[in-house]
Every structure is written in C-alpha cells, then in structure tokens.
Structure 1
Amino acid sequence: MPRPQKSRTPDAAGTGARRAALKLLDAVLRRAETIDAAAPAATKGLKPEDARLAQAIAGETLRRLPDLDALIDGAMERPVAEDAKVRMVLRLALTQAITLEIPHHAVVATALPLVEGGQRRLVHGVISKLLKSDLPDLSKPQLPKAIAERWSLWGEDALEAARTMLGERPPLDISLKADDATAPEGKSLAPRHVRVTSGDSVTSLPGFDEGNWWVQDLAASLPARLIPANARRVLDACAAPGGKTLQLAAAGHDVTALDLNGRRNERVRQNLERTGLKARVVTRDLRRHKGEAFDAVLLDAPCSATGTFRRHPESLYRASPRIIAEMAELQAQLLDAAAGLVKVGGSLVFATCSLEPEEGELQVPAFLARNPGFRIEPAPTFAGIAPSSKGWLRITPGMLEAEGGLDGFFIAHLVRDA
C-alpha cells in the first residue's frame, strides 16, 4: 500500500517573484544572458508588479555580488561553489534585507521554498545568523575583481567613481525632438537634452504621449552630435532600439536605420511612430549592405556594454575576455563594411558603450591602418567633456560626477579623404 504523501506547505506570498529572481540570476551568471533577454521566460505568469520586483531583486544582487559573497562566506563553516543554489538564494535574501528593506520575516519566508532538504536547513541557519548581525550598508559596493583589474588603467579616481555609480540609481536623461518641445522639468547639460528631476514613471511624464522626447543617456547622444549638419543622407548602422535614429531624423537628416535584428527593429518603428519622425527601417547585416553611398554613417557597434554597468550591472559578469575579443573582431568587420558605404568627403562616426580599450582606443589605429583613406577628425568639447590628444572622446566613470555621471563610451569621428 503506497505511503500517504505529506501535504506541501503553501508558499509565502511573493515567493513567485523570488523564484523568478533566482532564474534571472542563474541566466546571467551561468548562461551569460542579459536580464532583459531572460526576463520574459523567467517572469512568465507573474503579475507586472511581481515581475518588476523580480528584476529589481536580481539587479540589486548583481550590483553587490562580491560584498554579498564575503558576508556569506564569513557566516559558513565550509564554503559552497560560486554557482551553488544555496549561494544564489542567500545572495537574493541578503539583497532584499540590505538594499530593498524587505522585512526579515518575509526574507526568510520567501527564501526557504527555493531550496529543499539539507539545503533548506543550511539556508535557514546562515540567513538567520546574518540577519541577527549588523548588516553593512553596501551603498558603495565592490567591483568584481576582474573588472577592477581591467579598469585600473583609468586610474583610482575612476575606480572609486565606478563603485559610487554602481551603488546608486542612475539619473533619467531624455533627448528632445525640438528645442521648444514640451518636456519634464530638469537640467539641460547639452542642447536638446534634459536630465529629469521627477521620479515618476517615464510614460506618465509630460510630453511622452505627444512623442516630444525619448529616453537616452547624455553619453549615448554624443555620437549623433558628431554627424555633420550638412550630411544629407545618413545611415544609422546597428540602429536598434532607435535613439540615435530619432536624433538624426529630428536634426533634419535623411535617415536609413539598419539593424540585423528584426524584432529589435520593431522597437525602432514604434519609436518613430510615437515621435512622428521619419526614417527608412531596414533589417539586414551591415556586412551585406551593398550598393549605396552615404554622406555619413553612424556605427554604434555591438559591444560588451560594460559602460552601461550602472543601468545593466549584469554587464560586469557577462564581459569575459572571450566576449570582449569576439566583440572587438565583430566591430572591426563592421567598421570595414561601414567604411565602404561612406562617400569621399563623408564621415564615419564609430562608438561603443564599452570601457574596454579593445572596443575603442585599439580599434581606431587598426582601422586606419586597414583604411588609409580615412583620418580622425578631432571631436569638439561637449558638456565639458574634452577630446583626448588623439581627437576621440573617451567617457569614463567620474566624468560629470557632480551632475549624476554618464555611461561609459568611446566615440571617434573618422573622415574619408580618398
């Protein structure tokens, strides 16, 4: 006669969001996915508010991973593996208690259902021990060791600024469709730019429904600002999600927006429709786009995205040396393809939202060696950000820190003379 099964204790309210956060953390750390890419599957079936909570827990955990691991290791007699489920659950639990100020009883109640058996007892013991101690502030978290070592070339001040930026919520920047566009209140750091002071949701802010502006970090707006005003036909290569396409169209250029990803191109079309701006949208690999010549090409190339770490902390863990090398090779291919589409006398603006020299400073000399008809056109100073001695713009942590900082970027303006 079969044994009667024990009835399962119902999960505490909010456990679903924690399960989803665990899936998100696993997707980033074990499969090198982004939170945005992993979210649809991880949060499937959750209410919108629970899906947002899951992403918030996962994101805040990734911001503080080295500090959380130090706390966990200090509370355990024997360490567990970096990717062990126990460690993952403890990371999420500590994040909620320290950063999100979730009541301790809710932290425990929603953590225990994520593990079973001996793991459950271990999690309960460790988290109970930690919650009874004086938990640190962690508002200025440590950078992952590999990142800190790589970014040491930017100097100690930049490393310290990166830690500060990692622990803070980044400001909301918007680009305006026109000088007189209705927009939220804030501070302008450049023409047609506002750093918004309101904490309301983006879609509820003045001028959103009318299509008067779009969200875009000031640093991300700089590449399009380097396109010459007299460039009539402009190709925005790797255009999605479309912020630079909107900038170029609003500036009066005849814009072709090209991207390999058809799904992401739908974002470009939606943004064009909302703002009422015009551009041709093409789904194609830039390396196979032939037969046209443009007055200017803007190539904001795919990259490791480490410059966006304050908005996307998962980039700190996805950007392995292998990924950086693969992205650098792809960028070189795209640069050569873009060069073939520039008219003599025209411009090629190359940009990446990366803090890795392989995806910036090292790309340009190699490109010029392969394409001797091009030269660097020194960039002007924007918002107090001056070009380097080589003429390109390099934005590192700490720049405009008093104003709220900027995403990390590399931007070079190349002109074709022959």
Structure 2
Amino acid sequence: MASRDKGRNTRDEAPTRTAGPEAAGLGARRAASLAVAALIGQERPPALDDAVTQAIRAEALAPADAALARAIAVATFRHYGLIRSALAARLEQGLPAAKPHLTALLATATAQILDLSVPDHAAVDLAVRLAKTDNRTAHLAGLVNAVLRRIARERDAILAEGAEALAVNTPDWLARRWIAAYGPERAGLIAQAHRAGAAIDLTLRGDAADWVERLGAVRLPSGSLRLPENGPAIPDLPGFQEGAWWVQDAAAAIPAQLLAPEPGARVLDLCAAPGGKTMQLAAAGARVTAIDRSAPRLERLRENVARLGLDVEIRVADALALEPQDHDAVLLDAPCSATGTIRRHPDVAWTKVEADIARLAALQLRLLDQAAGLVRPGGRLVYCTCSLEPEEGEAQVAAFLARDARFTRVPIRPEEVGGAAALIDGNGDLRTLPCHLPDVPGARGGLDGFFASRLERRG
C-alpha cells in the first residue's frame, strides 16, 4: 500500500525566475505546482483550495488558466499515491524529500499525462520550461524531461498498476482503518469512488420539478439535484443570481432535513460556516442563529444568505463558551478529519495523520456535551460529521448516550432519505459512504461520507 510521506519542514531556497515572455499555459502550471508544493512535507499544511487560490492570485491568471491550474492540482492529489510510486520507481534516488518544488513539478506534470486531456508533448515541454524558469530546478531540467518522457511512454503500464485504488492510491493508515470499519470489499469501493471524483449537487429552496429541466439535472432520492459533468460555471447557471439554490453535496444536505424544524422554531447551528445547512434551516422557516469561531468563513455565509434573501442571525463565537440556552433544535456539524470529503478534496488523504482522529474526537466530545445544554426539554439535537471514521461518528454518539440519560435516539426512517435504506445503519443513524449511489443516469455517482444521529432531549 502507498505510504504517506510525513516529511519535514525542509524547504527549497527562495526562487528566482528568469525574465522574458512565457509560453501559453505556463502560468497555470506554475500555480498548480506552487500550490502542491505548499502542501508537501508540511506538518500543518493549508487546504489545497486555499493554496490554489493564493497561487492563482499570485500569477494573476485569467479564468480559463485558473480553472486549469485548479484541475491539475486536484488531479495530482487524487492520484497522488500512484504518481509518487511511478516517479520514485523512475528516479535513481527516489523522490527527494528536501526538494518539494521538484516533487511538485514532476507530480503535476505526471497528473496531466495520466489523468487530464493534455497532450503528452505539451505536459512535458511546459514542465521543462517551468523547471528552467526557477533557479531551484533549472539545473534539473534534463532530469525532468527524461523522467516525464518515460512516464508518457509507460502510461498504460502505470495506469494498470493503479487499478487497485485501495492498495496503490490510499495512505496505509487510512486503508487499514477502512478495512477494519467496512470490510475489504467496501473499503476498495470507497477508494475507487475517491479516485473517480465528485459531481456537483444543488439544494433547492423550493420545488425541484421546474429546475430539473432548466438545469439539465438529475433528481436524487434525497431531493438534491445533481448537475451533469462539464456544464457552465456555477454563477452562469439559471437560478444562481436569484438565490433559487446553492451548491451542497447531497449527503451534506441530509442532516438539516433530519432536524425538520417547524416554521418559527428557534434553531441554533453550531460550527455553521460555510453555511449550507444554515440556509436549509432558514429556508424551511426556522429562526436560525449561526455560530462559528471563524470570522472569514462566516463572511462567505453572509454573502450566501444575502444572495438568497434569508434572515439569519450570524455570530462569531466559540460554541464551547456559550451559556446554557433553550433552543427548539440544535445542529452540531462538528469539526472532523473530513475523510468523507476526499472525493472533492483529495488532499485530505495526504495531509491528515492518524493522530488527528483522536485529537478531533476529544473536541467533538466537548462540543456534543456543550450542545446538549443548548436544547430545551423535548427539543432535538442532530450531531453530524463528514468523516468515515467511527470514532467521529458511531462511537461518539454511543458514548454520549451512555453518559447523558436525558437524551434518546430518534431513528431515521427510510422515507426520510428517499427510501434509500442502505444509508441508515442498524442503530437508525445516517451513514453515507462515497461508494453509495454509484449509478446516476447522466451524471457521476457517489456521495460524500457522512454520519448523522438525531437525538431528543427527554428532560
């Protein structure tokens, strides 16, 4: 199985670019390479989305080049285990841990050759040009050329090696955990779903009937709409400007549906940013207070709420510092390892470490106990995480119910998830996996990995 390179904080010296005009597409490749390099070997790396956005701004890329840079960076981490293995086998001394920018340059070019619709000669030529523009890699341009030409020649053999996504393209510690939790067959299907990537799902404010046709979308059992691949940019789609819908994975939309607040109910949304669930609750007529520690992340929520014309109280606050309250319902989407989102955020697999699970589970325990004191007797609490790890889901709720006798589980019924009984575990909790919903006519299949439990306070 592919091993995660924990790396060190060793970095290349500062770059010096050569002057002169650049070839078309070079800026996009540079942005992708810089973003990938920012994550390699760091103990606390940024999220890939943030690193790519920063690199795109630094390069002042036009929209088409920005989209290409993002696609290259995402493809690199989606196939990172296979790419590392292929490169290490073709370098005499393996991948150099102390040269993240060389590794990133080779990895992003290899991703283009293996996964993207980029001609081999363009991927190789632009990688060599990029190497020559940076003093950290200029003297290695010949090596870059030779290795990538070999990758292109041997592409079919490399792709055949990567057929077993769990063995080749998943860090050892994650593969081991998923096999223990879900069995080897299902763990393999999860890894395959991660490699396939994610579709774009929408949550509608009102009835979906008109929007299925207008958007050329597919309606999923849970009520979300799934867009076809290679469609227009999201802001260009009908309904965006008027706030008829928002982007939200179909699995991520279920927890707020389970809360099902009555119109006018007082609902507290903890750890609310970026706000998809907040908007669901407000659109259902609830009086929502959205709480999050991150002011920048709440700005995105404010923008979306304004676009949709929803009335939400938004507060920057630490959920753990709130005084006891009597809300009709509380939604706790707790911070977690996010291993359920690897389909759309493939860097998660390579930037998290196993120790993160225990650290985050300890925080989730405190947040769940805190949330229990914020819901009135007779009110409901939904706890959820976008994690595949039982410690952050099933085990967390079992331990909570054992220590707080005021709460009982309210099992989820199949009709609440469009009849998809496979999404409900033996305890009546939600457990979606990336390999669920594999066949969606006209669109890509799969769901984010989510856990949710609906609890009711008896006294």
Counterpart of 1:360? 393
How far apart, in 1, do the equivalents of 2:224 and 2:176 lie? 34
Aligned partner of 1:98 among 114, 118, 133: 114
Does residue 221 of structure 2 align to residue 185 of structure 1? Answer: no
Does residue 74 of structure 2 align to residue 46 of structure 1? Answer: no
How far apart, in 2, do the equivalents of 1:182 and 1:280 lie? 30
Check conservation: 2:32, 2:52, Cα contact below 8 A. Answer: no
- Kindly report which structure 2 residues correspond to 1:28-67, keeping only aligned pairs within 5 A, or say none: 28-31=39-42, 32-43=45-56, 44-47=58-61, 48-67=63-82
Check conservation: 2:372, 2:381, Cα contact below 8 A. Answer: yes
Unpaired segments ≥5 residues, structure 1: 1-6
Aligned-pair distance for 1:100? 1.5
Check conservation: 1:211, 1:276, Cα contact below 8 A. Answer: yes
- Kindly report which structure 2 residues correspond to 1:256-271, keeping only aligned pairs within 5 A, or say none: 256-271=289-304
Aligned-pair distance for 1:401? 1.2
Does residue 225 of structure 2 align to residue 194 of structure 1? Answer: yes
Amino acid at match of 2:225: V
Residue 355 and residue 270 in structure 1: after superposition, are their counterparts in 2 closer, same or farther (change >3 A)? same
- Kindly report which structure 2 residues correspond to 1:8-27, keeping only aligned pairs within 5 A, or say none: 11-27=22-38
Check conservation: 2:410, 2:454, Cα contact below 8 A. Answer: yes
Does residue 405 of structure 2 align to residue 344 of structure 1? Answer: no
Aligned-pair distance for 1:137? 4.1
Check conservation: 2:38, 2:46, Cα contact below 8 A. Answer: yes
Counterpart of 1:242? 275
Aligned-pair distance for 1:30? 2.6
Check conservation: 1:179, 1:192, Cα contact below 8 A. Answer: no
SS in 1 for 2:394: coil
Aligned-pair distance for 1:371? 2.1
Does residue 154 of structure 2 align to residue 133 of structure 1? Answer: yes
Does residue 96 of structure 2 align to residue 81 of structure 1? Answer: yes
Counterpart of 2:325? 292
How far apart, in 2, do the equivalents of 1:126 and 1:72 lie? 8
Counterpart of 2:184? 156
SS in 1 for 2:246: strand
Between 1:135-144 and 1:370-379, the stretch displaced more is: 135-144
Amino acid at match of 2:431: R
How far apart, in 1, do the equivalents of 2:139 and 2:76 lie? 24
Q: TM-score, normalised by structure 1?
A: 0.92
Check conservation: 1:178, 1:192, Cα contact below 8 A. Answer: no
How far apart, in 2, do the equivalents of 1:271 and 1:190 lie? 25
Residue 194 and residue 101 in structure 1: after superposition, are their counterparts in 2 closer, same or farther (change >3 A)? closer
Check conservation: 1:181, 1:212, Cα contact below 8 A. Answer: no
SS in 2 for 1:362: helix
How far apart, in 2, do the equivalents of 1:89 and 1:82 lie? 13
Residue 38 and residue 110 in structure 1: after superposition, are their counterparts in 2 closer, same or farther (change >3 A)? same
Aligned partner of 1:400 among 437, 440, 451: 437
SS in 1 for 2:345: coil
- Kindly report which structure 2 residues correspond to 1:196-215, keeping only aligned pairs within 5 A, or say none: 196-197=227-228, 199-215=231-247
Q: Deviations over 1:105-154 (max 9, x none)?
A: 32223222335354322222211222233444478543232221121121
How many residues end up aligned between the 2 structures?
A: 412
Q: TM-score, normalised by structure 2?
A: 0.84
How far apart, in 2, do the equivalents of 1:192 and 1:91 lie? 39
How far apart, in 2, do the equivalents of 1:228 and 1:101 lie? 44
Counterpart of 1:391? 428
Residue 173 and residue 83 in structure 1: after superposition, are their counterparts in 2 closer, same or farther (change >3 A)? farther
Check conservation: 1:158, 1:396, Cα contact below 8 A. Answer: no
Q: Percent identity?
A: 40
Check conservation: 1:208, 1:214, Cα contact below 8 A. Answer: yes
